[in-house]
Chains A and B, each alone.
Chain A
């Protein structure tokens, strides 16, 4: 039995201090903090229902799945579907297109919100600032179907504003949406137009968190606005940029396939068909659920490896990481 009456005794070297058992401390913790766990519960349920439970179905990627025999009743066939995929020209094309569209989106799409945020930050007229922010945020709230409609109308060879402009310049109308070489610029450009403004909010919030006296100090030191942007604002929001980049790399293969499905056609499959549209055609339209599941799993594993790699590189180089 440890003596609790003398506080001096507790500090004696070699003397044991009685501690409550592990379980008692856990129960005490739950009694004290139960409200937090109650608040967490809906999110856990959401994960279980929509993400963990469907994982059960992933096994069809390794089975000769039949809807009549069910997931459990279908026989195991190992990596056969993956072999089929890797030898399939269509899948290879989809994989290449996914990488190309993702990388181009990353290269062109990722810097735009940062540049927008930096530009908004430099606007001093509040009315102009708010108006321009609202205008660039707006496309985010438009549904993908409407965006596709706008794109199709804008690039229409007969009445589209783009072709009318080209005609005004004396250039023959271009059938943009059936030319494979135009698909990627149109898709990536419309993606930037839709999301860049809204994505800039994160960077604007990061800029708002920069200590204002850093700028005041720089003003007294004689820094111009351009120098302050390069030497203070950008380095200060660099951790946010890196975190956003890691998240973006994690979603690299998650190409927004709704817009692709709405915009592509067999004439542009060559550059437009991505893994997700391949899965959609195979799984939903072709009822090859097992092959589609294998393609989806492949996609997920590659994405997982990418985000892990990006996170590790970032942690080593900049001490900033997601976990």
Chain B
């Protein structure tokens, strides 16, 4: 079982602790994405798994073997770096062969392996070129090829797409996903881009300030964020969060009331944060919706959809709605309608999601 198990992982640089005890179980063949803002400790965690950073406390287990004191080369992992880390003086074939030669693989076998992997990645015609003569996407493929030829138990990706332009990133994202489906190697992928996380991951680990905020499938995290941080981090645009007070039937926000499906018995009068996903609102009233008065100040057309930026009291809220090819229809909008079943309630003090009995 080539799973990866992290138990109570701590990383400290002198007196400064940057990762505060992480527990995570990555199953065999699973694609897990660590996502979070810059400086949240996701790359450090990945580097501890790779063996590039010493582990201050806790245990890392790969394929059932504790690897804390084991050299990176003996952990049977391969890593793809943000800046590709290709050797500029070697051509594509030699770059891919580097690790195999160091491991003294027979020449004929190296040649066959590289030919196979180059075929998979569409690099066959570039094998003689040096990295400087390749485009960003091709370099990224070589970096992945170098990892793949080793047939490691675990792939580690450290923000591998962040140096690419938006179009290429989308394309490479799909290639990585396809490759994972084909090779089925356990993968841990670090990114700060929530779109990459949502699209690639079997499970997402949202990190903040050296701690795990939530672990779950992309849709679990999207639909049921455990706190305001996760709610605000996943989703584009992020979830709107407005302050309110719980009432018998819902939450009073400003002068209006947003109805909730759940009964809030025992919590009436409590200050909360009301979370509304931009794409969950509608311009027309429905069966279980509440009108939400807004002052529209900007419409951003995206083609089939548009982002409506509006003021609500002192706060700015953003909604996403279909245009039907016409954005003039939004000029008179002064209300949006919020469906009761999709509203999220978070404790105003702790930021944690609140659940109520039905």
Q: Which residue from B51, B77, B83, B102 sits with its C-beta under 8 Å from A211? A: B83
User: Complex formed: what's the CA distance from A238 to B87 in Å?
Assistant: 13
- Chain B residues with CB under 8 Å of A211's CB are 83, 85
Task: With both chains docked as a complex, state the minimum distance between the C-beta of B337 and any C-beta of chain A, in angstroms.
Answer: 46
Residue B72 CB within 8 A of the other chain: yes
User: Complex formed: what's the CA distance from A137 to B81 in Å?
Assistant: 37
Q: Which residue from A213, A227, A235 sits with its C-beta under 8 Å from B81? A: A213
Task: With both chains docked as a complex, state the minimum distance between the C-beta of B46 and any C-beta of chain A, in angstroms.
Answer: 12
Binds B, one of A16-24, A31-39, A183-191, A218-226: A218-226
Residue A216 CB within 8 A of the other chain: yes
Residue in chain B with minimal CB distance to A221 = B99
B interface residues, how many (CB within 8 angstroms) = 24
Residue A268 CB within 8 A of the other chain: no
Do residues B50 and A220 form an inter-chain contact, with CB atoms below 8 A?
Answer: yes
Within 8 A of A (CB), among B59-107: 71-74, 77-79, 81-83, 85, 87-90, 98-99, 102-103
Do residues B52 and A219 form an inter-chain contact, with CB atoms below 8 A?
Answer: yes
Residue in chain B with minimal CB distance to A218 = B98
Chain A interface size, as a band, is: 10 to 19
User: Complex formed: what's the CA distance from A217 to B150 in Å?
Assistant: 13
User: Complex formed: what's the CA distance from A227 to B73 in Å?
Assistant: 14
Within 8 A of A (CB), among B95-143: 98-99, 102-103
Residue in chain B with minimal CB distance to A228 = B102
Do residues A217 and B102 form an inter-chain contact, with CB atoms below 8 A?
Answer: no
Do residues B85 and A213 form an inter-chain contact, with CB atoms below 8 A?
Answer: yes
0/1 interface trace, chain A 207-251, chain B, CB 8 Å (1 if under): 000010110111111110001000110011010000000000000
Do residues A217 and B85 form an inter-chain contact, with CB atoms below 8 A?
Answer: yes
Task: With both chains docked as a complex, state the minimum distance between the C-beta of B100 and any C-beta of chain A, in angstroms.
Answer: 8
Known A-B contacts A211-B83, A214-B87, A236-B88; the reply to A220 vs B72 at CB < 8 A is: yes
Known A-B contacts A211-B85, A222-B103; the reply to A216 vs B98 at CB < 8 A is: no
Residue in chain A with minimal CB distance to B75 = A220
- Chain B residues with CB under 8 Å of A236's CB are 88-89
- Chain B residues with CB under 8 Å of A217's CB are 79, 81, 85, 146
- Chain B residues with CB under 8 Å of A235's CB are 87, 89-90
Do residues B98 and A220 form an inter-chain contact, with CB atoms below 8 A?
Answer: no
- Chain A residues with CB under 8 Å of B82's CB are 213
Do residues B85 and A216 form an inter-chain contact, with CB atoms below 8 A?
Answer: yes
Do residues B103 and A214 form an inter-chain contact, with CB atoms below 8 A?
Answer: no
Known A-B contacts A220-B72, A223-B102; the reply to A232 vs B87 at CB < 8 A is: yes
User: Complex formed: what's the CA distance from A219 to B87 in Å?
Assistant: 13
Do residues A216 and B102 form an inter-chain contact, with CB atoms below 8 A?
Answer: no
User: Complex formed: what's the CA distance from A114 to B104 in Å?
Assistant: 29
Task: With both chains docked as a complex, state the minimum distance between the C-beta of B75 and any C-beta of chain A, in angstroms.
Answer: 8
Task: With both chains docked as a complex, state the minimum distance between the C-beta of A35 and any C-beta of chain B, in angstroms.
Answer: 34
Q: Which 6 A-B pairs have the closest CB atoms?
A: A222-B73, A221-B99, A213-B85, A217-B85, A235-B89, A213-B81
A-B contact list, 17 entries, CB within 8 Å: A214-B87, A216-B50, A217-B79, A217-B85, A217-B146, A218-B98, A219-B71, A219-B73, A220-B99, A222-B72, A222-B73, A222-B74, A223-B98, A227-B102, A231-B98, A235-B89, A235-B90
